[in-house]
Amino acid sequence: MSEINLFYGTWELDGILKDIKEGEAIELLKYAKEQGINSFDTALVYGNGKVERMLASVIDDKDIVLTKIPAKIKPSLDEEDIDDFYPEGYIEEKLSESLRNLKRKSINIVLLHNFSRKWTNLRPINDLVKLKKQGLIDKIGISIPNNFNERLPQNVVDLIDYIEVPYNVENTWILSDIDYYKENNIQIILRSLFLQGKVITDNNFIIDTLLKVKKLNVNVTIGMTKKSQIDQNIEILRG
């Protein structure tokens, strides 16, 4: 991959973390598109589908959408029984909701929103594989939790196309495995660069972080709640 792909992270656009009205959020998404961003990272749980529906009012068929299927309840890193969190038939049910929200016949990238390092039952991933074969999904993968801190087993890696992982001052463990995932043709998306703003000291810290990410030559998703943030991220990561 010769150029980093910048995903617009939409979690903050649900108006819960920050006081962003729906009209303001839609204007930000439109502005991002005008500036050349055509990849959007969302999830069914963002505003209980509200953010997916907002995206549907802005995007077109050429845009790339990544969404995530949440577990029924959020698992810990060490939960063992995956059926408690992704039961039979649940993946297809939730995908149908996202398809309706996004007003699409298929979705570019769908990830499991939650994962435990002790899960050995791969049925939910195999469910995604089946939906991919049916043409409802183009690429599949897993959103890796904070502090996961270990390599996915090979039998999981063999089934997926993407992983989304945290990369910040508290989570740097992906650095040791970037080459491994690239060798296995897994696309990496970095997230949570600034821990929802909690670690930002000044703009120089933001710039330094983005420059470090750029050198890794992987994808990145960043939440943007101001036009100036969109402009700066594009300038640094694509400049």
d(CA 66, CA 109): 5
Which of 219, 239, 238 shows the shortest CA–CA distance to 9?
A: 219
All structural domains of the chain, each given as residue ranges with its CATH number in brackets, are 6-238 (3.20.20.100)
- 109 forms beta bridges with 66, 139
Structure tokens at 203: 């703009």
Predicted pLDDT at 239: 76
Structure tokens at 127: 């469910």
pLDDT in tens, the chain (239 residues): 346 799 999 999 986 657 789 999 999 999 999 999 999 999 999 999 999 999 999 999 999 999 999 999 999 999 999 999 999 999 999 999 999 999 999 999 999 999 999 999 999 999 999 999 999 999 999 999 999 989 999 999 999 999 999 999 899 999 999 999 999 999 999 999 987 666 666 788 899 999 999 999 999 999 999 999 999 999 999 87
Tell me how crowded residue 200 is: count the other CB atoms within 10 A of its CB: 13
Predicted pLDDT at 2: 42
Predicted pLDDT at 1: 39
Predicted pLDDT at 19: 78
Predicted pLDDT at 3: 61
Q: pTM value?
A: 0.94
